[in-house]
């Protein structure tokens, strides 16, 4: 029985309800039916999982043209032309799980195993800071005896304590296996930004096959992780699906139901949604996964998420190629990684042996910033919301009322200015300065405009946040 209020994963993401929605949505309806849903989305208050099911299975081009346009508009209404940048930092690839799509699975005896020491973490972080990064996502495999919570907490402390000539890492997000409320509380106390955990797939039966061994095999424990994280006080959680493991419409409806559950239970939903697609890796052949997505479907998924959950960040990583990221940026993506290495220690040593997956976008951070500027985006390294306590429901209510735009636009310009002064190539600097001048003129509130000019001048004079 589908019970939205239930705390049990199998009930709040009910297989029967997903199948019912998909069954119904596959019967094609008249054009007006879909256009009515798009009209509702134009109010920018989001859509339900049922409405999303209808749209993803709609085969009318006119409807999709409207969705793409609306996704772009909603992105601009809520986030402006800012794109937040971050990089992953792999701490350890030891893992006791058996995930069949990941080369870090326990049975892979060919991949070298590596766990960074605190000294190595320091070096990796400095290498990332030297590029200009201010926001990291920590990644590690699951192994209670090797990758302990104490090790992770110490690593976070190490990272936050590093003082670089141009500032420090301002936000450490964490992507680790599902854990206990107590551990989530410790992560919160350590000052993490977002706790990220991908669901991989919402289909329980398939989930259990794809995760044959290890603690991750437990679907309920994994799926209820965000509830525990929120109970532990983490109010920014990042959800996602590894697209390619199950049919995409199933995942999309599951993702929406997960979001609805969190909203209903805690009063606000996920801070971000990630849309990774399965990539080739050490002993992983993507041809073994029959649900791999085409580029066209990928873009449909991103745009649909944008109109269905207007106030949640959408993240696309370097798993995607430059071309695919370009398309995704036009339909609602708000955060991307840049200059990423997906190997343990990869920022200091050019080796790919311990890589988790093959990245498609291998450009440097400066190249990514330059490319974003060419497309009219403002690359942002801003972390002000997090540092000023605008997280969870406070962030959501600001975002829902679109106030985030008035606060974030000027902040993004300041962090871009810092990047241009401290790290950018001459060409990037020139383009960046031009866009700052243009954007400055667009700040409607005169007081804010004058204050921003003042701060920009301070940065020019060598002051840093």
Q: Which residues bind ligand SAM (CB under 6 A)?
A: 101-102, 139, 141-142, 175-177, 197-198, 200, 242, 276, 278-279, 281, 284, 319, 356-357
| Shortest separation between residue 221's beta carbon and ligand SAM, angstroms | 12
Could you tell me the sign of the dihedral formed by the alpha carbons of 208, 214, 219, 220, in that order?
A: positive
| Shortest separation between residue 141's beta carbon and ligand SF4, angstroms | 4
253 touches, from ligand SF4, ligand SAM, none (C-beta below 5 to 8 Å by class) = none
| Shortest separation between residue 347's beta carbon and ligand SAM, angstroms | 16
C-alpha–C-alpha distance, residues 339 and 7, integer Å: 39
| Contact indicator for 263, 4 with CB cutoff of 8 Å | no
Residue 415, CB-side half-sphere exposure with 13 Å CA sphere: 25
Toward ligand SAM, which CB reaches closer, 141 or 432? 141
| Shortest separation between residue 343's beta carbon and ligand SF4, angstroms | 13
- 64: which residues sit within 8 A by CB, 6+ positions away? 58, 300
276 touches ligand SF4 by CB under 6 A: no
Toward ligand SAM, which CB reaches closer, 155 or 452? 155
| Shortest separation between residue 253's beta carbon and ligand SF4, angstroms | 23
SS (H, E, C) 384-449: HHHHCCCCHHHHHHHHHCCCHHHHHHHHHHHHHHHHHHHCCCHHHHHHHHHHHHHHHHCCCCHHHH
105 touches, from ligand SAM, ligand SF4, none (C-beta below 5 to 8 Å by class) = ligand SF4
Toward ligand SF4, which CB reaches closer, 241 or 412? 241
384 touches, from ligand SAM, ligand SF4, none (C-beta below 5 to 8 Å by class) = none
Toward ligand SF4, which CB reaches closer, 43 or 145? 145
Q: Return the bridge partners of 332, or none.
A: none
Site for ligand SF4 in 160-189 (CB under 6 A): 177
| Contact indicator for 216, 177 with CB cutoff of 8 Å | yes
CA-nearest of 311, 313, 305 to 336 is: 313
141 touches ligand SF4 by CB under 6 A: yes
| Shortest separation between residue 99's beta carbon and ligand SF4, angstroms | 3
C-alpha–C-alpha distance, residues 226 and 233, integer Å: 11
105 touches ligand SF4 by CB under 6 A: yes
> What angle separates helix 49-56 from helix 31-42, to the nearest 10 degrees?
130
Which residue in 57, 97, 272, 411 binds ligand SF4 (CB under 6 A)?
Answer: 97
319 touches, from ligand SAM, ligand SF4, none (C-beta below 5 to 8 Å by class) = ligand SAM
284 touches ligand SF4 by CB under 6 A: no
Which residue in 13, 53, 63, 95 binds ligand SF4 (CB under 6 A)?
Answer: 95
The span of 26-34, 73-81, 91-99, 285-293 binding ligand SF4 (CB under 6 A) equals 91-99
142 touches ligand SF4 by CB under 6 A: yes
| Shortest separation between residue 207's beta carbon and ligand SF4, angstroms | 12
How many residues form the binding site for ligand SF4 (CB under 6 A)?
A: 10
99 touches ligand SF4 by CB under 6 A: yes
C-alpha–C-alpha distance, residues 237 and 195, integer Å: 5
Contact set with ligand SF4 (CB under 6 A): 95, 97, 99, 102, 104-105, 141-142, 177, 216
């Amino acid at each position: 029985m589908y019970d939205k209020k239930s705390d049990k994963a199998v009930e709040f993401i009910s297989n029967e309800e997903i199948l019912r929605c998909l069954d119904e949505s596959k019967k094609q309806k008249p054009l007006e039916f879909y256009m009515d849903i798009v009209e509702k989305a134009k109010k920018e208050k989001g859509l339900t999982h049922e409405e999303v099911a209808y749209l993803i299975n709609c085969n009318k081009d006119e409807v999709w043209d409207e969705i793409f346009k609306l996704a772009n508009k909603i992105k601009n209404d809520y986030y402006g032309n800012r794109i937040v940048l971050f990089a992953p930092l792999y701490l350890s690839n030891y893992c006791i799980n058996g995930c069949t799509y990941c080369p870090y699975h326990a049975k892979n005896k060919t991949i070298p195993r590596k766990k960074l020491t605190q000294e190595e973490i320091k070096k990796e972080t400095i290498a990332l800071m030297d590029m200009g990064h201010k926001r990291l996502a920590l990644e590690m495999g699951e192994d209670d005896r090797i990758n302990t919570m104490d090790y992770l907490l110490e690593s976070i402390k190490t990272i936050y304590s590093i003082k670089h000539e141009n500032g420090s890492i301002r936000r450490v997000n964490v992507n680790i296996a599902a854990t206990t409320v107590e551990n989530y509380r410790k992560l919160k106390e350590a000052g993490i930004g977002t706790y990220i955990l991908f669901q991989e797939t919402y289909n329980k039966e398939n989930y259990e096959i794809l995760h044959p061994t290890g603690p991750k095999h437990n679907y309920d424990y994994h799926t209820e992780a965000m509830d525990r994280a929120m109970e532990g006080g983490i109010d920014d959680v990042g959800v996602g699906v590894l697209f390619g493991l199950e049919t995409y419409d199933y995942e999309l409806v599951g993702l929406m139901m997960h979001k609805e559950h969190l909203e209903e239970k805690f009063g606000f939903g996920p801070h971000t949604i990630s849309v990774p697609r399965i990539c080739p890796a050490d002993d992983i052949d993507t041809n073994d996964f029959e649900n791999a997505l085409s580029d066209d479907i990928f873009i449909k998924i991103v745009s649909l998420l944008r109109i269905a959950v207007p106030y949640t960040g959408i993240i696309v990583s370097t798993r995607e190629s430059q071309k695919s990221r370009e398309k995704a940026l036009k339909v609602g993506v708000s955060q991307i990684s840049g200059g990423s290495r997906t190997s343990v220690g990869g920022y200091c040593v050019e080796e790919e042996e311990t890589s988790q997956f093959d990245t498609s976008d291998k450009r440097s951070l400066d190249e990514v910033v330059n490319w974003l500027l060419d497309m009219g985006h403002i690359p942002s390294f801003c972390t002000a919301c997090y540092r000023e306590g605008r997280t969870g429901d406070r962030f959501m209510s600001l975002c829902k009322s679109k106030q985030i735009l008035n606060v974030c636009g000027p902040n993004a310009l300041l962090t871009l200015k810092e990047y241009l002064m401290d790290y950018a190539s001459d060409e990037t600097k020139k383009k960046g300065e031009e866009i700052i001048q243009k954007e400055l003129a667009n700040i409607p509130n005169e007081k804010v405009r004058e204050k921003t000019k003042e701060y920009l001048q301070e940065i020019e004079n060598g002051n840093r946040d």
